[in-house]
Structure 1
Amino acid sequence: MQDQGTANNVLQAVQILLSIAPVPGLAAAAIAIQEVLKLVNNVAARRSECEALAGFATNVLATINSSAKVREDSQMAMAISAVTKVIADMQTDFGVWKNYSRLTGYIQNSEIRSRIEGHRAGLNEALITVGLTQTLAQAEWNQKFTEAHSEDQVLLQDISQKQDQTNKEITELKQLLIPSSVQRTDNEAEENRASVMQKLSHLRSQPGVLTSSDLIYEVQKTGDRPFHSGALYELWKGVWLDKYVVVLKVFRGKDLTEQPTNKAVDRINRQVDLWRTLKHDNILPLCGIYHLKERGRDDASVCFVSPWMTNRDMMRYLKIFPNVNRLKLIHDVAKGLQYLHSVGILHGALQGSNVLVNDGGSAVLSDFSLSKSMEPDTMMSQTGSQSSLRWWAPETQNHQTLSSHTDVYSWAMTALQIVSGHEPYYNIKAIGQLVSAINKHITPKRSDYDDSGELLKNDRLWSLLEACWNADPKKRPSMDQVVTELEALGSGSVASSEVAQAAVVNSQPGSSGSHTPPPVATTTLLVPSTEPVPSTPQSTAMQPPPLTATLLAATATSTKEESSHGVSNPSPKKGLFERFINLFSRIRS
């Protein structure tokens, strides 16, 4: 669509706003349409159709505005209400879509198209309500939407063709890894595998291409036992592309190979692809999925493959390094959650155990649901433990769906856990008493955390936590507001504030404090990392350096930052890690 058309829409919206005062109920719609017209300039996914929708909404608003000045009846009131709601919904959607990368928009294409059609239908229904459908040149608008659709399809087909070609090459290469009847010496087989893996790594790093999520023949499980075994899943260590240490998360009883055409499987595959397009320093990347063959089973379990986190989960990290800046860590968690909300994703099960810590000492979110609404029963099945109730908002226990408000509540409980070292309601052991307390909106008492260091003594921080625990979900702050407040408190670069100073005080009195990781520069942007596989056996595996913003931009520069790790900090082996992160950032760009 032409920029001139958008400019005309903006001018018309301003003119509507100036003339709208006499018409009750339309002022909010006029203000919202201006925001829509600003947002559409930053939307990449189905940009042409979004521009057409914005222009159509502007004209519908102008038409109803003119008619409302000369007639007042119930139908007109209904039309005004309907148009106001549609435009408000458009503002919300455009606000999310502007944060989509090119590939995220591609994955979400069907949903975006459906929402656009729904908004257009809602605007037309408003016109029908007051008999104004003939006022607009419907044939002309139909033509505009048809042309916009064609323009968007060309871009989508370009992405699709690139992906199909790349995935075809990947499939052909993987065939060379299948044991064949051709007799090869050990050296020949090793050279063949090394060559194939190098080519696969190159294909996986193609910019702007979301390659197949299936990592069959690319991943090898290491060890005979998982390093973690829980009620719902096991965690194994593995190697991807013969270079990078990864984690294989194997779900118990989740064999997705039995019904490959099942809608649930299709939805999961789509969510896997969506996760792989997410790009944020505080979000755990997903490499893909792998079918793990287990002893005694004829089928294979599907597992998620993610970069290895040397520091593992947050609570384990804090036991080893009790003196770290905990305010920075809860700020990291808030930023990760803020990003998820900005792209329309809820976490749904946030707590300390599913917050990981990367090699640079930054918090990384994992185990999020990738769904916009989920019943509490589903949450129970995901967490696998009634003790997860400690982090849930009261409304989720009354069988209401999840929302960004429930995530905010869970963030505050997780923040309390990180800062204090105690689970929420740690002094309530019985599940029945816990449920009763939560349903009565009884929140943690500050006096119960007197032994948790200086940070919780800050009135402003405690007030923020209490605001997030508000019994009325709509009165809780947004994650944007939470992040802003934390930054004002001293998180990030303001290291000299009272709160930032308190953050480094050991929140577990009695600890020797001997385990203190090297400081990480607050100006360094760290992303989830993985460790390269040592070329020769070593007693301590070599660790990668933290990733700077320069590397994140896929420029081949080296970093002098030192990484902090759970056990030791040997000199890192340069090169492999940078190429791996370069692969990640290019895939998700």
Structure 2
Amino acid sequence: MTMAEPREPTGGSTNNRAAFDYHSSRALLRRVLIQGKPAWSSWLLEDRHEEAQTVVDFLSKVLDDRVDLEGHEEKQILSAIRLIVESPLVYPRGFRLKVVQCDLSQPLNEGRFGYIYRGRLGNRAVCVKAVRLFTQQDNTRDFLAQAKEFALCAHLSHPNILPCYGIYLPEPGKLKICIVSKWMQRGDLRAYLSAYPDSPRRLFLVDVAAGLEYLHKHGIIHANLKAVRRSLTLSLF
């Protein structure tokens, strides 16, 4: 008499277990959200980097799924992600891009925190924003500002908010991050109005106001609203 070989779990049972774990985690998440900021502070410890990464990945998935997610919970999760990414190099793994083509020696423009480049992601043009790094000072503060910006932008979805595709690390392991977003063929609002001065201003104001209203509903305040930062899509008119 021989002993039967142990059976491998079927795909169905594996999927059921994954679904159970996910919903159990969602239930736990709701209890943690009630505790607020103190519940997330422990993930900022450097020796809990891997655990913090797992938490950020899970929170990102919850926001992407948007299943049974109430408005106040979405706002709380965004705040939690923004807090946890204060640990350098902790951001959702699902947004890491590896096939971005961009010459970082040829910036098209520059802003307060970084340089703007035109790159390619597959067969489409993309905007690549790289944090400005200084050789004679600590760049951690600027890097974290960029990471926090991405943590918010990656989970926003509105017709008047520039879509963010992900992040690109030109030098893995080093404190340098690039945010990859949609390339706006028509440029920013100031350049467009200079080229077409008779364009109806009120339509632009309505679009900007709608985008700001969406941000405010998620507890996000835009601190530097300028025409040069408002990009135009090809489908605007």
- Partner residue in 1 for 2:193: 318
Q: CA deviation at 1:273?
A: 2.3
Q: Secondary structure at the match of 2:210?
A: helix
| Contact 1:314 1:352 (8 Å CA) reproduced | yes
Residues 305 and 329 of structure 1: is their aligned pair in 2 closer, same or farther, counting only changes over 3 Å?
Answer: same
Q: 1:398-437, aligned counterparts within 5 Å?
A: none
| Contact 1:254 1:302 (8 Å CA) reproduced | no
How many angstroms apart in 2 are the aligned matches of 1:266 and 1:224? 23
| Aligned residues with identical type, % of pairs | 25
- Partner residue in 1 for 2:132: 252
How many angstroms apart in 1 are the aligned matches of 2:216 and 2:182? 23
Q: 1:196-211, aligned counterparts within 5 Å?
A: 211=93
| Long gaps (5+) in structure 1 | 1-43, 54-96, 113-209, 294-298, 362-519, 521-589
- Partner residue in 1 for 2:120: 239
**2:152 is equivalent to residue 280 of structure 1:** no
- Partner residue in 2 for 1:99: 71
Residues 336 and 231 of structure 1: is their aligned pair in 2 closer, same or farther, counting only changes over 3 Å?
Answer: closer
> What TM-score do you get using the length of structure 1 for normalisation?
0.25
Q: CA deviation at 1:305?
A: 1.0
Residues 343 and 223 of structure 1: is their aligned pair in 2 closer, same or farther, counting only changes over 3 Å?
Answer: closer
Residues 213 and 337 of structure 1: is their aligned pair in 2 closer, same or farther, counting only changes over 3 Å?
Answer: same
- Partner residue in 2 for 1:309: 184
Larger RCO (CA within 8 A; separation ≥ 6): 2
How many angstroms apart in 1 are the aligned matches of 2:175 and 2:30? 44
Q: CA deviation at 1:275?
A: 1.8
> What TM-score do you get using the length of structure 2 for normalisation?
0.56
How many angstroms apart in 1 are the aligned matches of 2:144 and 2:113? 21
When you count strand as a share of all residues, which structure comes out higher? Answer: 2
Aligned-partner residue type, residue 305 of structure 1: V
- Partner residue in 1 for 2:47: none
- Partner residue in 1 for 2:215: 340
Instruction: List per-residue Cα deviations over 1:298-334 (Å, max 9, x = no partner).
Output: x674221111000111010112222222101011111
How many angstroms apart in 2 are the aligned matches of 1:263 and 1:249? 16
Aligned-partner residue type, residue 227 of structure 1: L
Q: 1:391-402, aligned counterparts within 5 Å?
A: none
How many angstroms apart in 2 are the aligned matches of 1:334 and 1:311? 20
How many angstroms apart in 2 are the aligned matches of 1:224 and 1:269? 22
Q: Secondary structure at the match of 1:318?
A: helix
Residues 225 and 263 of structure 1: is their aligned pair in 2 closer, same or farther, counting only changes over 3 Å?
Answer: closer
How many angstroms apart in 2 are the aligned matches of 1:211 and 1:278? 17
How many angstroms apart in 1 are the aligned matches of 2:30 and 2:132? 44
**2:95 is equivalent to residue 213 of structure 1:** yes
| Contact 1:225 1:236 (8 Å CA) reproduced | yes
- Report the count of equivalent residues: 168
Residues 279 and 356 of structure 1: is their aligned pair in 2 closer, same or farther, counting only changes over 3 Å?
Answer: same
Residues 278 and 243 of structure 1: is their aligned pair in 2 closer, same or farther, counting only changes over 3 Å?
Answer: same
When you count helix as a share of all residues, which structure comes out higher? Answer: 1
Aligned-partner residue type, residue 342 of structure 1: K
Q: 1:350-389, aligned counterparts within 5 Å?
A: 350-361=225-236
Larger radius of gyration: 1
Aligned-partner residue type, residue 95 of structure 2: S
RMSD: 4.0
How many angstroms apart in 1 are the aligned matches of 2:170 and 2:150? 17
